[in-house]
Amino acid sequence: MKTEKSSISSNISGVIAIILMGFPVYWMITTSLKPKDEILTVNPTLIPHHLTFSNYIQATTKDGFLQSLWNSVIVVFFTVIISLAVALFASIAVARMKFKGKQIYVASILLVQMLPLTALLIPLFLLLTKLNLTDKLAGVILTYVAFVLPFVVWTLRGFLVNIPTELEEAALVDGCTKPQAYRLVLFPLIAPGLVATAIFAFIQAWNEFLLAYILLSSPEKATLPIWLAGYTNRFGTDWGPLMAGSTLAAIPVVIFFSLIQNRIATGVTAGAVKG
Amino acid sequence: MGRVTILKGAPKKDRVPKKIWPYLLIAPSLFCLALILGFPVYRLFTLSLEQYGLREIIAGKGTFVGLANFSETLQDPEFWQVLRRTLIFTFAMVSVSIVAGAFLAHLMMKMHKRIRWVLNGVLILVWAMPQLVSISVWRWLFSFDFSIVTALINSVGIDFPKHNYFVNTLSGFTIIGGSVAWGALPFITISVYAALTQVPKDLLEAAEIDGATSRQKFRHVIFPMLLPVYVILISLSVIWDFQVFSHIWIFLENRPGPEYFTMAVYAFQKSFGMSEYGMGAAISLIMIFVLISVTWYYLRQMMKMGDE
């Protein structure tokens, strides 16, 4: 009885939350489907009178769309792969090993998260100029990796700590070497952790604007957010194609997330010890 | 490179000495952090001790002034106002977004499958919206000429004239805060929800058999298991909300008045607006110092955890 009752109130709250949270998203999508004269009016309508795909056509045929899409894909791909690999090694050390200087390492990882990005912009730009990495995707990728690393290391460490050491020890007894034990036993078990952190790194790299804006100057190097920002200038914002482009930019994240979310939820670790 | 020589040099059985393994494992991450952040952080420190303005930019060299930037900042009443405003804003933001996110996650456990599915989808969409775009849409919602909210209020039949929501700072900060919380909710809700689904069912059943009410179940079973997740989420929220910049910058069309300055905006304004880069660096360092003090408990906990 009790659960039935609470379920109704939570369903109602759920619907309210969907409306409140979803409204800006809804507005983005409907605007992308409205003709120009229906967009910026004093009396905007919730539902477009005339559905049109002209904004999508306009956005996708504009110069640089495919190029910036491709750039973003490259940046995201390498940011996710590199940060996960590098962080996985580090998190094994932090979660599983004792070593001198560990506290300092952990402290510096945590402190990096507190650095205000806006304060580092200039020295970062100067540094990358010296390294000849400005206006190169590699420079952006390296910077993104550095900024997402702390979160990824720390989250993976959390997943690793929850995996009983008995599992690796058993593998060692069975004649595995240590790297083998990690590869064959630990790696599959932290898959959900890798997935969760991959999403985090993916979204950060896909949506990041400020750093990319400072570090990349030529239009053919622009990532999607920079390309999107091109729709706003001092004369105002060209909302229709901007919303169409943003909707398109959100699709890969949604696909990536839905492919991956089941894996987090199933919790691969659940039966590992009992089995 | 180092790795290869070690592999060759050591005896075959224990090719890599045990003691070196952890250092090999953290080396790539240290390299990356040191390469990208080492110099900028060092430069931030040195810059904060220099007089560095337009003249120095042209000369390409700052003048060393010791702690003058710090003492000038700390004596400036505006600094204390900004700090107070930022702390209040951070506190409000963290409480609202954590409470709302946790509440929503708990509700999600009890929702009808379809509603949960839609809500989940909405949260992901919110997360997936490029920040620049989502803030622009929020600005549009509350703009002066074409405000969607004003239009909605009018369409319900209430006569509500054109309204500048940002003249009153309380109303302005509420709207900015709303967009910040809105953007933070997906991450918080999805994390808490994921943690909730990890609470073993047999534990809850056992508690139920022992006659625990749902409130007791929450207090004695769920809450202790979720505590680490909350600690991390709260601390990350503090760090992120304390540094809010883009929201204020975009909402107020790249020229926020001093009544809208938070620490990050203030530091940015000093550097790029007034070309006092040394002063901006000093303010940024003070910001980091405040953040460290505010999250001191979390840092200690984390370091202890990391040391286990």
Q: How far is A125 from chain B (nearest CA, A)?
A: 9
- For A42-91, the pLDDT digits (tens) are 778 888 888 889 999 988 888 888 999 999 999 999 999 999 999 999 99
Q: Would you say A217 and A271 are in contact if contact means Cβ atoms under 8 Å apart?
A: no
* A184, A135: one domain: yes
Are residues A17 and B104, on separate chains, in Cβ contact within 8 Å?
yes
pLDDT reading at B239 higher than 80: yes
Are residues B36 and A11, on separate chains, in Cβ contact within 8 Å?
no
* A210, A96: one domain: yes
- For B172-212, the pLDDT digits (tens) are 999 999 999 999 999 899 888 888 877 777 888 888 888 88
Are residues A106 and B119, on separate chains, in Cβ contact within 8 Å?
no
- Chain centre distance of CA A72: 12
Are residues A209 and B128, on separate chains, in Cβ contact within 8 Å?
no
pLDDT reading at A249 higher than 60: yes
Q: How confident is the model at residue A3 (pLDDT cuts 50, 70, 90)?
A: very low
Q: How confident is the model at residue A6 (pLDDT cuts 50, 70, 90)?
A: low
In a domain, A228, yes or no: yes
Predicted local confidence at residue A2, as pLDDT: 39
In a domain, A272, yes or no: no
Q: Would you say A72 and A141 are in contact if contact means Cβ atoms under 8 Å apart?
A: no
* A127, A250: one domain: yes
For residue B284, list chain A residues with Cβ-Cβ distance below 8 A: 116, 118-119
**Mutation target vs A (from B15, B30, B36; most A CBs, 10 A cutoff):** B36
Report long-range pairs for B46-54 (Cβ below 8 Å, ≥24 apart): B47/A123, B47/B277, B47/B278, B47/B281, B48/B278, B48/B281, B48/B282, B48/B284, B48/B285, B49/B278, B50/B278, B51/B278, B52/B276, B52/B277, B52/B278, B52/B281, B53/B275, B53/B276, B53/B277, B53/B278, B54/B275
Go through the domains of chain B in sequence order and give each one's CATH number.
Answer: 1-48 (no CATH), 69-307 (1.10.3720.10)
Which one of A26, A52, A78 terminates a domain? A52
Distance between CA atoms of residues B85 and B83, nearest Å = 5
* A24, A64: one domain: no
* A167, A197: one domain: yes
* A74, A4: one domain: no
pLDDT reading at A122 higher than 60: yes
The most confident of B8-22, B77-91, B137-151, by mean pLDDT: B77-91
Q: How confident is the model at residue B11 (pLDDT cuts 50, 70, 90)?
A: very low
Question: Mean of the pLDDT values across residues A88-105?
Answer: 88
Q: Compare all CA atoms of chain B with the CA of A213 and give the residue at the minimum distance.
A: B132
In a domain, A275, yes or no: no
Predicted local confidence at residue A71, as pLDDT: 95
* A139, A175: one domain: yes
In a domain, A44, yes or no: yes
Q: How confident is the model at residue A273 (pLDDT cuts 50, 70, 90)?
A: very low
Question: Mean of the pLDDT values across residues B239-248?
Answer: 92
Distance between CA atoms of residues B21 and B18, nearest Å = 6
- For A140-194, the pLDDT digits (tens) are 999 999 999 998 898 888 888 877 888 878 888 888 887 787 778 877 778 777 8
- For B137-146, the pLDDT digits (tens) are 999 899 887 8
Q: How confident is the model at residue A231 (pLDDT cuts 50, 70, 90)?
A: confident
Beta strands in chain B (DSSP E): 50-51, 63-64
In a domain, A260, yes or no: yes
Predicted local confidence at residue B10, as pLDDT: 43
Q: How confident is the model at residue B308 (pLDDT cuts 50, 70, 90)?
A: low
B195, B199, B200, B205: CA torsion to nearest 10: -150
CATH number for the domain spanning A78: value is: 1.10.3720.10
* A234, A252: one domain: yes
Question: Mean of the pLDDT values across residues B267-288?
Answer: 90
* A178, A260: one domain: yes
Are residues B295 and A265, on separate chains, in Cβ contact within 8 Å?
no
φ/ψ (deg, to 5) at A236: 125, -165
Can you read off the two tokens belonging to residue A250? 């959100």
Q: How confident is the model at residue A138 (pLDDT cuts 50, 70, 90)?
A: very high
Number of compact structural domains in chain A:
2
The closest CB to that of B36, out of A43, A142, A246, belongs to A142
In a domain, A110, yes or no: yes
* A111, A21: one domain: no
Mean pLDDT of chain B: 86
Residue A87: which domain range?
A: 59-266
- For B98-112, the pLDDT digits (tens) are 999 999 998 998 888
Predicted local confidence at residue A21, as pLDDT: 94
* A150, A171: one domain: yes
Q: Enumerate residues 189 to 248 of chain B having a beta carbon within 8 A of any beta carbon in chain A.
A: 194, 197-198, 214, 228, 232, 236, 239, 243, 245-246
- CA-closest candidate to residue B90, choices B223, B288, B240, B196: B240
3-state secondary structure A104-144: HHHHHHHHHCCCCHHHHHHHHHHHHHHCCCCCCHHHHHHHH
Are residues B303 and A106, on separate chains, in Cβ contact within 8 Å?
yes
Q: Enumerate residues 58 to 77 of chain B having a beta carbon within 8 A of any beta carbon in chain A.
A: none
* A10, A110: one domain: no
Are residues B125 and A116, on separate chains, in Cβ contact within 8 Å?
no
Distance between CA atoms of residues A109 and A88, nearest Å = 14
In a domain, A271, yes or no: no
Least confident stretch, A171-180, A246-255, B20-29, B67-76: A171-180
In a domain, A273, yes or no: no
Residues 6+ positions from A227 with CB-CB distance below 8 Å: A64, A65, A68, A245
Q: Would you say A221 and A66 are in contact if contact means Cβ atoms under 8 Å apart?
A: no
Question: Mean of the pLDDT values across residues B214-232?
Answer: 82
Q: How far is B301 from chain A (nearest CA, A)?
A: 11
Mean pLDDT of chain A: 84
Predicted local confidence at residue A270, as pLDDT: 34
Amino acid identity of residue A113, one-letter, is Q
Q: What residues form DSSP beta bridges with B64?
A: B50
Predicted local confidence at residue A272, as pLDDT: 33
Interchain CB contact of B32 with A (< 8 Å): yes
Can you read off the two tokens belonging to residue B81? 């106002």
- For B146-178, the pLDDT digits (tens) are 888 888 888 887 777 778 889 899 999 999 999
Q: Would you say A160 and A186 are in contact if contact means Cβ atoms under 8 Å apart?
A: yes
pLDDT reading at A271 higher than 60: no
Predicted local confidence at residue A85, as pLDDT: 94
The closest CB to that of B37, out of A118, A146, A246, belongs to A146
Can you read off the two tokens belonging to residue A129? 């100029």
Burial of B218 (0-12, 13-18, 19+ CB in 10 A): middle
